[in-house]
Chain A
Amino acid sequence: MSSTTTYEPELDFEKGADVLKRQIDWRVASYFSSCVHCGLCAEACQFYVETGDPRYTPIYKLEPLKKVWRQEYTFFGKMAKALGITKPLSEKDFVDWEDLVYDSCTLCARCSMVCPVGNDIAYMIRKEREGFSAAGFAPDELKGATKRAVETGSPMGVTWKALSAQIKHIERETGLPVPVDVKGAEYLGLLSSLEIMGFPEYISSLTRILHQAGVSWTLSSETFEATNSGIQIGDSKVAAELVERVLKVATDLEVSNIISPECGHAYTAIRWESANLIGKPIPFRVVHIVELLDELKRNGRISTTGKTDVKLTFHDPCNLVRKGGVVEEPRRLLNSVASDFVEMKQHGVMNWCCGGGGGVSANDRASGLRLAAFNIKKRQLDELGVNTLVTACANCRNILEEGIEHNEMDVEVVGLTELIAEYLDPPEAGESDSTS
């Protein structure tokens, strides 16, 4: 794979159409063949549920890909195209569907859990985005984030200089060293730009917890970003490039494990897509921080003392539960530090998305839809009457805070790693007391 150093998307219908054609594998073909147009997937999608607009029906978002499948892979479709009865894929399809493919889909995969014929709709939308981005039809903010990720290593343009300033601050705050470029460490820690800039308490919590556990770990000054804009926009080439950067530093630093930060899609990118993107298995074990904390806790390598008696609930990041099966781990952790942990009615694999996954959080023109989708979360929180919402994804946290602020709700959002760090036993330096 050649190294990509820049990203300059151009409008190119032919390229997009060609890429879209190449997305049809037998999973997609079996899904379209099985779809009975029952519409049951609509009620699973937050955007349909909150707007009532039938265009937001998950399977409808796939019309361009379905058109390609029908005209290339079915008898009547081929015939109708040959006879000029149906129109071939055109640039208008990209124009008309761009908002459905990017603004009204967080790739949360909730629809994929309910389809009676088993269609994994999110898998197809992810693939459809490949065609759209190749044709140059994607939101400007996502294009910008992808360009920054390729050119600077961070979708937000966060540099090593900014991170190292945070690290210095964290070292002062915790009194602990934050290991950087330590060759032969057991774990390579990755971060998201959002954590670095918005939630640096994650980094200090991670430092304190791994110190107590005696885990040898390191950050890399060369590549520290875990998120993958290539996956969000649907550009496998960029996605592979970003993944390869991580794998390169993991190899150079001779680590055997990689820790995905509190970020759902970063976890999907490194844990589940990386090997497929580069076309071979990766020689590292990848764990989400929540999996690692649970493992360390169960092995007795970290211990906590006391519990918060504040009534709180947990928002499952979609990528963890529906793409990675990480359902019980956060609950075990929460129960160990919270005495009044209550569940939302729909949680675990059927949780409702925060509304900002799959690049929707970066997409300005989707902000109205995002806030509409948040109404579900608002109802869930109101029903429970909680003032503390714990999650394990910086992007979810950001979007949830946006919705909470917009609705003037009295709810605090806390990262799970942060919560665990608060109850460490023995406590490390820099401990705070925000939820107790």
Chain B
Amino acid sequence: MSDFILGPFWNFAVIVFTAGVVGRIAMILMCGLSKDLAAARGSSVTGAVGTVARRFFPRKETVKSNRFHIIAGYMFHIGLLALLFFAAPHVQFLKNHLLGFGWPAMPHWAFILSAEIAFAGLILLWLRRVMHPVTRLLTRLDDHLAAWLTFFAMVTGCLALFESFAGLRVLHILGVELLMIYFPFSNLMHAFTFFLSRGTTGARAGRHGVKA
């Protein structure tokens, strides 16, 4: 079973993920967009770059009313990115299988801290999702599946690093594979499409001389 998970199923997940993400982005772009023919007041390129960068941070006017979500959102995303790119096994994996080069991994204490922050963030976001009237209204099964699959991959990943028992690494990889397969069909796609959505809003706003 573990041979299947580490072999053919891994390859399958990689293919679905890659083809799915590329296909999904292609489908978005194929929807077409009519050119803005109004005389420009500013630069669309500066606007696009600016908005992609600026939306990493909340507008100061909105911080007070969205404090809980903003903090939980940062916790989850920063913690997750730290784990993804700086956990020792991941650095090793990226070096050996993908990039051919690596970088220093984070120490064990930083791993624990990142994992705790990411877990707390994910749980807080999910609790808000099920408790806040707005997110309750907006939430679909997809949002829950995405959260649970991410949670599963993170839990098994942490346990695997503690090497509680040998099968955990395989279980973690299975979790990651399921996440990869589900990814292109879900709103996890925002990890890629946010460039498009922020970029196109920023480009249009930039042409209009608006700092969006």
Contacts and interface: CB of A to CB of B under 8 A. Distances in A.
Contacts of A119: 197, 201
A324 B210 contact: yes
B167 to A, nearest CB: 31
Given A76-B185, A118-B51, A39 B194 contact: no
A345 B134 CA distance: 26
A271 B37 CA distance: 11
Nearest to B136: A54
B28 A38 contact: no
Contacts, number: 172
Given A33-B190, A44-B62, A281-B37, A54 B210 contact: no
Interface string B27-42: 1111111101111011
B73 A26 contact: no
B149 to A, nearest CB: 15
Given A29-B27, A44-B62, A276-B38, A34 B194 contact: yes
Interface stretch (A55-63, A206-214, A334-342, A402-410): A55-63
B137 A33 contact: no
B210 to A, nearest CB: 4
A26 B30 CA distance: 7
B200 interface: yes
Nearest to A76: B185
A24 B37 CA distance: 19
A354 interface: no
Interface string A89-131: 0000000000000000000000011111111100100000000
Interface string A267-283: 00001111110011110
B201 A40 contact: no
Contacts of A349: 210-212
A323 interface: yes
Contacts of B196: 26, 30, 33-34
A114 B62 contact: yes
A40 B138 contact: no
A37 B136 CA distance: 9
A112 to B, nearest CB: 7
A43 B62 CA distance: 8
A325 B210 contact: yes
Contact of A323 (B58, B138, B187, B210): B210
B66 to A, nearest CB: 5
B164 interface: no
Interface of chain B: mostly helix, strand, loop or mixed: helix
A393 interface: no
A118 B137 contact: no
Contacts of B197: 27, 30-31, 33-34, 117-119
B39 to A, nearest CB: 7
B121 interface: no
A36 B133 contact: no
Nearest to B202: A118
B73 A116 contact: yes
A346 interface: yes
A120 B204 contact: yes
Contacts of B31: 24-26, 28-29, 73
Nearest to A278: B37
Contacts of B198: 117-118
Contacts of B132: 39
B39 A33 contact: no
Contact of B37 (A34, A54, A275): A275
B36 A276 contact: yes
A322 interface: yes
Interface string A7-26: 00000000000000000111
Contacts of B187: 33-37
A76 B145 CA distance: 14
Contacts of A40: 58, 62, 66, 69
Contacts of B51: 118
A326 B132 CA distance: 36
Interface in B176-212: 185, 187, 189-190, 193-194, 196-202, 204-205, 208-212
A48 B29 CA distance: 32
Given A120-B204, A324-B209, 9 more contacts: A25-B33, A26-B33, A30-B28, A37-B135, A116-B194, A117-B197, A272-B38, A323-B208, A326-B209
Interface of A: 24-31, 33-40, 42-44, 48-49, 52, 54-55, 57, 59-60, 73-76, 112-120, 123, 271-276, 279-282, 285-286, 321-326, 345-346, 349-350
13 contacts: A27-B33, A30-B196, A30-B197, A34-B193, A34-B197, A37-B129, A37-B138, A39-B135, A57-B137, A116-B55, A117-B197, A118-B202, A281-B37
